[in-house]
């Protein structure tokens, strides 16, 4: 596995790939790799001739009061995991290499980024779309792999690819979960044993929402109130939003029908957790 830290070396590596056949798969990450990332890498490994992973804690996607400084960093472990997973190239630029002091360009998707995560973290998605744009321009992949866990991010990146006419395929991979349903996330390592139990309530509430829909309930308020009962059962879990939306544009619904997504965000102590569930329900009213 080759490890590259500089943009210049990445350019020259990429030029050498031109003459070779077969797709280049790319998994962008912020490091602290876990089973969720590994599932993306394995998916890419099965399909692509070359698998590229980036490890870069992107300062642009953290708000001023967020956890950039204490975001987990474990480069040596990440490098080992990538090597073991058969990654061909690990790109890990230092921040000053990636964003030199006169960096001035921001890439922003407008409408899709307004609600939910975008409302709570107003500059988050423009940080994501800026870094992703730069990474796509550098790596020039054929396929890119994103987890469903950050569903709004997936939709925003999908919009970005569409709007900028990139000739690449975005593959959405299923959320990897712990045995109690908690979505695997780099931030889970901040949870104390007590908080870890509470964190499991978010996925439990989402499952309750999905089951309620499948049992025929169509009214969103009724479904939300069943989910909130689960989250409300614990005073240490603070709900930020629990939304039932159109899975394509994230507009909130009043009646469910077709494919919907339940988006949830909670705080357990000062740790933010997000999760979601896609549910297909028949359109007939119940
Ligand atoms: O999902 C993430 O880990 C990040 O938002 C991403 C896509 C690597 C951009 O920094």
The CATH number of residue 257's host domain is: 3.30.1300.10
Please indicate, yes or no, whether residues 84 and 16 belong to a single structural domain of this protein: yes
Distance CA 172, CA 151 (A): 9
Residue 12, domain CATH: 3.40.50.620
**C-alpha of residue 168 to centroid of ligand 1, in Å:** 17
C-alpha atoms less than 13 angstroms from C-alpha of 169 in its C-beta half-sphere: 11
Q: What is the pLDDT of residue 286?
A: 43
Assign 239 to helix, strand or coil.
strand
Q: What is the pLDDT of residue 115?
A: 98
Q: Is the CB of 58 under 6 A from ligand 1?
A: yes
Q: How many CB atoms lie within 10 A of CB 117?
A: 23
Q: What is the pLDDT of residue 233?
A: 77
From 182, 192, 159, select the one nearest 264 (Cα to Cα): 182
Task: Please report whether residue 178 resides in a domain.
Answer: no
Please indicate, yes or no, whether residues 70 and 143 belong to a single structural domain of this protein: yes
Distant-in-sequence, close-in-space partners of 24: CB < 8 Å, separation ≥ 6: 17, 48, 49, 50, 51, 52, 139, 140, 141, 142, 143
Please indicate, yes or no, whether residues 100 and 126 belong to a single structural domain of this protein: yes
Distance CA 160, CA 36 (A): 23
DSSP 217: -
**C-alpha of residue 156 to centroid of ligand 1, in Å:** 12
Assign 274 to helix, strand or coil.
strand
Last residue of a domain, one of 173, 207, 232: 173
Last residue of a domain, one of 114, 140, 173: 173
Task: Please report whether residue 163 resides in a domain.
Answer: yes
Please indicate, yes or no, whether residues 39 and 120 belong to a single structural domain of this protein: yes
* Domain interval for residue 168: 2-173
Residue nearest to atom 2 of ligand 1 (CA): 29
Q: How many CB atoms lie within 10 A of CB 271?
A: 18
Q: Which residues of the chain have pLDDT under 70?
A: 284-286
Distance CA 193, CA 131 (A): 34
Structure tokens of 78?
Answer: 């990440």
Please indicate, yes or no, whether residues 201 and 162 belong to a single structural domain of this protein: no
Which residues are catalytic, by number? 37
Ligand 1: which of 53, 58, 113, 157 to mutate, judged by most atoms within 8 Å of the beta carbon?
58
Task: Please report whether residue 100 resides in a domain.
Answer: yes
Please indicate, yes or no, whether residues 157 and 16 belong to a single structural domain of this protein: yes
Please indicate, yes or no, whether residues 142 and 272 belong to a single structural domain of this protein: no
Distance CA 254, CA 166 (A): 35
Q: What is the pLDDT of residue 284?
A: 60
Please indicate, yes or no, whether residues 152 and 259 belong to a single structural domain of this protein: no
Q: Is the CB of 29 under 6 A from ligand 1?
A: yes
Residue nearest to atom 8 of ligand 1 (CA): 29
Atom of ligand 1 nearest to the CA of 54: 8
Task: Please report whether residue 34 resides in a domain.
Answer: yes
**C-alpha of residue 93 to centroid of ligand 1, in Å:** 14
Distance CA 125, CA 66 (A): 14
Task: Please report whether residue 283 resides in a domain.
Answer: no
Strands 271-281 and 143-147: unpaired
Structure tokens of 257?
Answer: 């029908």
Last residue of a domain, one of 173, 199, 230: 173
Assign 119 to helix, strand or coil.
helix
Structure tokens of 63?
Answer: 């708000």
Task: Please report whether residue 145 resides in a domain.
Answer: yes
Using alpha carbons only, give the angle 223, 227, 232 rounded to the nearest 5 degrees: 140
Please indicate, yes or no, whether residues 267 and 226 belong to a single structural domain of this protein: yes
Atom of ligand 1 nearest to the CA of 61: 10
Contact 264, 278 (CB under 8 A): no
From 73, 145, 155, 161, select the one nearest 117 (Cα to Cα): 155
Please indicate, yes or no, whether residues 10 and 143 belong to a single structural domain of this protein: yes
| Domain total of the chain | 2
């Amino acid at each position: 596995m080759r490890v590259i830290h500089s943009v210049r070396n990445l350019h020259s590596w990429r030029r050498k790939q031109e003459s070779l056949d077969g797709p280049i798969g790319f998994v962008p990450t912020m490091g602290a790799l876990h089973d969720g990332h590994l599932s993306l890498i394995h998916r890419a490994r099965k399909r692509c001739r070359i698998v590229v992973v980036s490890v870069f804690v992107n300062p642009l996607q953290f708000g001023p009061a967020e956890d950039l400084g204490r975001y987990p960093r474990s480069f040596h472990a990440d490098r080992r995991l990538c090597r073991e997973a058969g990654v061909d190239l690990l790109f890990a630029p230092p921040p000053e290499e990636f964003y030199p002091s006169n960096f001035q360009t921001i890439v922003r998707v407008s409408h899709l980024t307004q609600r939910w995560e975008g409302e709570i973290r107003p500059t988050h998605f423009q940080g994501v779309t800026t870094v992703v744009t730069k990474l796509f321009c550098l790596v020039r992949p054929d396929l890119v792999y994103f987890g469903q866990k950050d569903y709004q991010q997936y939709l925003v990146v999908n919009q970005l690819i569409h709007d900028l006419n990139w000739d690449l395929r975005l593959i959405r991979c299923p959320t990897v979960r712990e045995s109690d349903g908690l979505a695997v996330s780099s931030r889970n390592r901040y949870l104390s044993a007590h908080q870890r139990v509470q964190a499991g309530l978010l996925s439990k509430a989402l499952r309750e929402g999905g089951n309620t829909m499948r049992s025929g309930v169509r009214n969103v308020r009724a479904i939300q109130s069943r989910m909130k009962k689960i989250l409300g059962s614990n005073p240490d879990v603070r709900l930020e939003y629990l939304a039932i939306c159109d899975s394509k544009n994230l507009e909130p619904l009043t009646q469910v029908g077709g494919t919907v997504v339940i988006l949830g965000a909670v705080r357990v102590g000062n740790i933010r957790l997000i999760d979601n569930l896609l549910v297909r329900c028949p359109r007939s009213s119940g």
